[in-house]
Amino acid sequence: MPEKFLIVIAGPTAIGKTKLSIKLAKHLNTAIINADSRQVYKELNIGTAKPSLSELSEAKHFLVDFLPLDITYNAGQFEKDALQILDFLFKTKNMVIVSGGSGLYIKALCEGMDDIPQVPGHFREDLNRFYAQHGITPLLKELTEKDPEYFEYVDKSNTNRVIRALEIIRGTGKKFSSFRNDKKKTRDFTIIKIGLERNREELYELINQRMDLMIAKGLVNEAFSLKAFKNCNALQTVGYREIYDYFEGRYNWEEAVRLLKRNSRRYAKRQMTWFKGDKEYQWFNPENFEEILDFIRRKTGNN
């Protein structure tokens, strides 16, 4: 059996992952597995910068635009689904691309997830409603009281991680840290990790431009049409949360736009911190296609 390769294309929002991944997929005659935790949802189009129908037609994509918004999806489920898809694709292809900015999803696929039990969805819904009303501070207080070990470990600015831990704690009555073993699983394919970066000023300007484009395309109307789902986990994120706060009169439109851009830039910074923490990544500017392709060829032995 020839060696199989998973090519990871990772980086912050607006960096150019979609364009590069499609170009690589066409050149390598392969498919793309989406690793963006919100692009899995059918209803979220503008606010997630989901690939357009034209882009989706250029290369075969998996795990994009396939779930209704009220279905909870997490990194553990992504790991199982992505591995099944890889098993299918590797029957006919030696290389497959996974592309996205959700670091935990990529980590789950490459290294495996801890065996964390499923709990009823109402725990997360209650936590999301509480967070919308009271903010993160009381949730952090609950976490430090119920699981001080995980409290020391978790990124306290990452609302989804805090809520995820409390969801499991409330649903099982056990510490979230008790389910973590941090042991890497072995995979029967070789992983090549490519990180995308630009200088900070250029990236931040691209993020600002993307937010302007989302607004012009109808982000406000998209968010309004989904108001009934605003407490769902997928909408507790940058790009939607600010719009709902605007709807509720917490600030005016000019401030909403400023926060959309600022919070998107902060999110990109957190993404870069996550990916830079993994020393297996090789870093490139996304415009340097030939350099990236040459790196893949050398790593796969297809010179």
- Show the tokens assigned to 64: 């994009």
Where are the alpha helices (H) located in 90-147, listed in sequence order?
103-111, 122-134, 137-146
Nearest one of 37, 41, 42, 43 to 13, comparing CA atoms: 37
User: Cα(205)–Cα(202) distance, rounded to whole angstroms?
Assistant: 5
What pLDDT score does 299 carry?
Answer: 96
What pLDDT score does 302 carry?
Answer: 76
pLDDT tens digit sequence for 46-57: 999 999 999 999
What are the structural domains, with CATH classification, of the chain?
Answer: 5-114+183-300 (3.40.50.300), 122-179 (1.10.20.140)
Where are the alpha helices (H) located in 14-173, listed in sequence order?
17-28, 53-58, 75-89, 103-111, 122-134, 137-146, 148-153, 159-172
pLDDT tens digit sequence for 62-102: 999 999 998 888 888 999 999 999 999 999 999 999 999 99
Nearest one of 171, 176, 173 to 147, comparing CA atoms: 176
- pLDDT band at 113; cut points 50, 70, 90: confident
Q: What's the pTM value of the predicted model, to 2 decimals?
A: 0.87
Average pLDDT of the chain?
93
Given a cut of 80, whether residue 15 has pLDDT beyond it is yes
